[in-house]
Amino acid sequence: MSALTFDKSELGNLEYSLRREMLATDRIGGYMSTTIVCCNTRKYHGLMVAPIDDSDRAYVLLSSLDETIVQHDQSFNLALHRFPGVYEPRGHKYITDFEYTPTPTITYRVGGVILRKELLWIHRRTQLMIRYTLVDAHSETRLRLRPFLAFRDKHALSKANMEADGRSYPVPGGVRCRLYESFPWLYMQMDKRAEFVAAPDWYYNFEYREEIERGYDGHEDLLTTGYFELELKKGESVIFSASLDQMASPGTIDEIFASSLARRTHKIDFISCLQHSARQFLVRRHGRMEIVAGYPWESTDPRRGLIALPGITLEQDHKEDFIDYIDSLVSRMQDGMFTGEASAYHQVDTPLGFFWVLQLLEEQTGDRWVWTRYGEVMKQLLESYRRGVGDRVALHDNGLIWASAGDLPLTWMNSVVGGRAVTPRNGYDVEVNALWYNAVCYTLELARRFGDEPFVREWQQLPERTKESFLAKFWLADEGYLADFVNENESNRFIRSNMLLACGLHYTMLSEEQRISVLRVVEQHLLTPKGIRSLSPRNLLYKGVCEGTPDERDVAAKNGSVWVWPLVFYAAAAFDILGDAFLPRAEEMLANFEEDIQSNGIGSLSELYDADPPYTARGAISEAWSVGAVLMLHEMIRRRRESASASDQEKTPISRSVKPRKTGRTQQ
């Protein structure tokens, strides 16, 4: 596995450095994100972006912090900002090194001055700390720190106005600021004595090139209320703290920094980076566990959360986080159905994904534990589908789930342009009915094991009816793959990734020959080094590059763009059919992502990729179900290696048991 390294000679190359973005989270909904040279290129960038109330909306409070070295009455500004047509100042030319682990660290050299900057988000509290260490200097050196404030929703932009309060109010070790009364105070304090010079002023037209490239407004005005200044001696460090809570004793700042830094893991290779990234998606707020779908602009999404969940928790033996997340969904059930966006009324597939994740949880907890804790929930969800969910979702007499909401898409292919679905799929959807069959079969199996005879008698005839109807409607015998959806008007024959779920779930309605045929079609049309295309290149609607206006990107995203998460179902099916013979190919698939953690989102994986080579990363820089999918692939490979090794050496199972997946079984 490759280590996470950066080309020091390229740090001053803006085409190199501005495409690499770092992220740190506080695990309660806040984050820091910017480029590795601390030049913001998105409106979502900022040193402190955090919720300020009981809602999940996040706000950019502290946008940036400019550092200036003052020596012999000469000032050297280390910051980097983009304004229309120009970068000013150009502090990136002083950067000599960047390290990501254990915390983002930048080293500057100005003549004989060497300054190291370490950025640290404090977990479980909204607090950013930045430690500056004067590594070397040959004469008196002063450090000046100027904060730029935004105080606005992360999806918006700040503009100069008369309502903003540019005053700073003294607190021990620093000042507190609040641009608008609806916001909390931001406390900016130093662990050593520093002078704060009040000098409120607006700076105009900061330019965010990524927003402009994405077709949005990308210009912002930021307010500075003044600057800190202090003398630093060679070898001395000073820590800047920005927090929503006042530090009663600034002298404790260095203790908090040291203890927090000591708990940081070292992201030394591909998997440890992804494991760290996985933990950043887990957020505890309002007494429950949530999963952020992606950074920096996405919020929570139950569909993406469930698909990501096994990879970002179980792969690290964090089943408590897994259970907390699904318990949060269960606790908000009404009338036997999840509520909010998790309801089948909004996301027809999401409650059915709940059964899939329980199957993976069973491998760590055992089947009795799953049935005891969630058996009633499973039965209630199935009954809700049978009863019908509003006027959108129904179980038909043929045993298949019908989903239709006019122009509003209910499946994961949910892009909307001009008020209409980019991929209208009203009717019977292939992945929805694959999930439905899997859910019914799994619940029936547990009910049989633990003696729930009434449920078994009531539901035992359904799987065979579902399977018969599914094969009759979806299997395209001449082509050797599955239709994408079927309704009164058409049997849609687009070659899409959705059919992989019918191959890779624990219970499948397809024969082994049919599954092999589907995988061959996927390999011929959809499989890429970065995941699975959402549409075959031979289709007239295919878009090979996901760029342009927001509408153009939405169209491409579901009509060609490569998604990582379907790899889970492709690999599960391939391992089930080919066994250990698939191991070398799986290892190659895993290796294809190694280089990605050093570009775009550092230490993480992007939301999607272009469908055409070179498969450029697109979308959110750190995506939960992308990271989760690759970690699940890694876990499949690990288990296969251990199983093969134990078999070769004729040993008893090793300490971490490997329970065989039930993939490929059909309900009898």
* Residues sharing a CB contact under 8 Å with residue 472, sequence separation 6 or more, in sequence order: none
C-alpha separations of 424 from 60, 230, 475 in Å: 36, 61, 20
Packing angle, helices 367-387 and 350-365, rounded to 10: 170
> By the 8 A CB rule, do 253 and 239 touch?
yes
How far is residue 605's CA from residue 598's CA, in Å, rounded to a whole number? 9
Confidence of residue 3 (pLDDT cuts 50, 70, 90): low
Give the residue-averaged pLDDT of 142-162: 98
How far is residue 379's CA from residue 376's CA, in Å, rounded to a whole number? 5
pLDDT of residue 659: 36
How far is residue 650's CA from residue 658's CA, in Å, rounded to a whole number? 15
| Residue listed under structure tokens 């729930």 | 452
Model confidence at 657: pLDDT above 50: no
pLDDT of residue 267: 82
Confidence of residue 209 (pLDDT cuts 50, 70, 90): very high
Model confidence at 324: pLDDT above 70: yes
Confidence of residue 465 (pLDDT cuts 50, 70, 90): very high
Model confidence at 652: pLDDT above 60: no
* Residues sharing a CB contact under 8 Å with residue 535, sequence separation 6 or more, in sequence order: 494, 495, 496, 541, 542, 558, 559, 560, 611
Model confidence at 511: pLDDT above 50: yes
Question: Where do the domains of the chain lie, and which CATH numbers do they carry?
Answer: 8-262 (2.70.98), 270-648 (1.50.10.10)
Give the percent of the chain with pLDDT over 70: 96
Confidence of residue 342 (pLDDT cuts 50, 70, 90): very high
pTM: 0.94
Predicted confidence (pLDDT) per residue in 391-425, tens digit: 999 999 999 999 999 999 999 999 999 999 999 99
How far is residue 214's CA from residue 103's CA, in Å, rounded to a whole number? 30
> By the 8 A CB rule, do 108 and 115 touch?
yes
Model confidence at 443: pLDDT above 50: yes
Model confidence at 266: pLDDT above 90: no
Average pLDDT over the chain, rounded to an integer: 94
Residue type, 49: V
Give the percent of the chain with pLDDT over 90: 90
Residue type, 250: P
Predicted confidence (pLDDT) per residue in 135-146, tens digit: 999 999 999 999
Give the residue-averaged pLDDT of 355-374: 97
Confidence of residue 56 (pLDDT cuts 50, 70, 90): confident
Residues paired with 104 in a beta bridge: none
Confidence of residue 658 (pLDDT cuts 50, 70, 90): very low
pLDDT of residue 648: 66
Structure tokens at 650: 């004729």
Model confidence at 174: pLDDT above 80: yes
> By the 8 A CB rule, do 7 and 16 touch?
yes
